[in-house]
Amino acid sequence: MNPPSQEIEELSRKKGCCRHWTQTMLLGLLTAALWAGLLTLILLWHRDNTQNLKQLEERAARNVSQVSKYFERYQGDQMAQKSQATEISQSLEELRAEQQRMKYDSEMYWNLNRLQADLSSFKSQELNERHAASDSLGRLQEEVRKLLMELQVSRGFVCNMCPENWVSFQQKCYYFGKGTKQWVHARYACEDMEGQLVSIHSHEEQDFLIKHASRTGSWIGLRNLDLKGEFIWMDGTPVDYSNWAPEEPTNRNQGEDCVMMRGSGDWNDIYCDRKLGTWVCDRLATCTLPAREGSAESPGPDSEPDQNGRLPTPSAPLHP
């Protein structure tokens, strides 16, 4: 029999071998697990890299396709630009040739422009003089008619006959027109009826117009035609009466050169191109000699006076 100490030593040796073998097995298993994990990671990394490479290849293919399209478009634009450059170059050459031709004709061209400017200036001056002469003639004719009326009144004529739709007041006839017009068109409308835009010379005449004129405002014949800001009546009569609204005329913005009469009767300067719905014309009334008792009928209102201011009548003498 072995002694107890040897048995113990033998048992200890066997236990040590078992422990070493167990540790070796565990180490092997752990190593295998580590390699398996590492291999798994490598495979996953390889798969991800493969997918990324595939995506990069697809993106690169798309980019190459877009770059190719851009390049083709660029080549087309470049060809178009070359064509445009050629056309511009040709146009430039033509312009240079034209400029060279014009250079020889520049003096003649300048002289022609100067002649055209002189002609335009002459036409404008002639037109202004013609208008001024026409206005002067109209005012002179109006003065003659007024003097003739005064002469007829002094000889016993009654001057209160007016055309149809005109209103008589103090030896004048008034027409209250309706229709949207600018100042100059209202003036033409009055002239077409052998009258003119009304001129106002007394408080009584102003009151008469207030009673008959539109409440929305009407054009009258007062206008600023010079650079001094002085208003004048278009029939040439002096401005011996005025009825301006408070703080008028203003002409704040330069160009308020025409005058309207408000519904209240006050005057206000406004722009001539403004459109008003009514205007007022006036003209001298027609004079007739009243019929005397036992004499023939007096001449009609349409009879024209002669150069001496007398109306024709078959039996009534012009002098008492």
Residue 313 belongs to a domain: no
Average pLDDT of the chain, as a whole number: 78
- Residues 148, 168, single domain; the answer is no
Per-residue pLDDT for 291 more than 60? yes
| Residue 317 lies inside a defined structural domain of this protein | no
The answer to whether position 112 is within a domain reads yes
Residue 308 lies in a domain: no
Domain shared by 70 and 176, yes or no: no
User: C-alpha distances in angstroms, 293 versus 290, 296, 316, 319?
Assistant: 10, 8, 10, 15
Q: Confidence band (pLDDT; 50, 70, 90) for 308? A: very low
Of 154, 170, 189, the last residue of a domain is: 154
Distances from the Cα of 310 to the Cαs of 131, 140, 152, 284, in angstroms?
32, 20, 7, 16
Q: Of the candidates 6, 284, 36, which has an alpha carbon nearest to the alpha carbon of residue 142? A: 284
Q: Are 284 and 162 part of one and the same domain? A: yes
Shared-domain flag, residues 76 and 53: yes
176 lies in the same domain as 129: no
Q: Does residue 187 register a pLDDT over 80?
A: yes
Write down the pLDDT at residue 149. 65
CATH number at residue 254: 3.10.100.10
Which pLDDT belongs to residue 83? Answer: 82
pLDDT tens column, 147-163: 666 666 667 777 888 99
Model-level pTM?
A: 0.50
Residue 2 in any domain: the answer is no
The parent domain of residue 264 ranges over 158-288
49 within some domain: yes
Cα torsion for 259, 260, 261, 262, to the nearest 10°? -130
In the DSSP assignment, the letter for residue 64 is: H
- The pLDDT of residue 49 is 82
pLDDT of 300 above 50? no
pLDDT tier at 43, thresholds 50, 70, 90: confident
Q: Are 265 and 139 in contact (CB under 8 A)?
A: no
Q: How many domains does the chain have?
A: 2
At residue 295, the pLDDT reads: 46
Residue 31 phi/psi, 5-degree rounding, is -65, -40
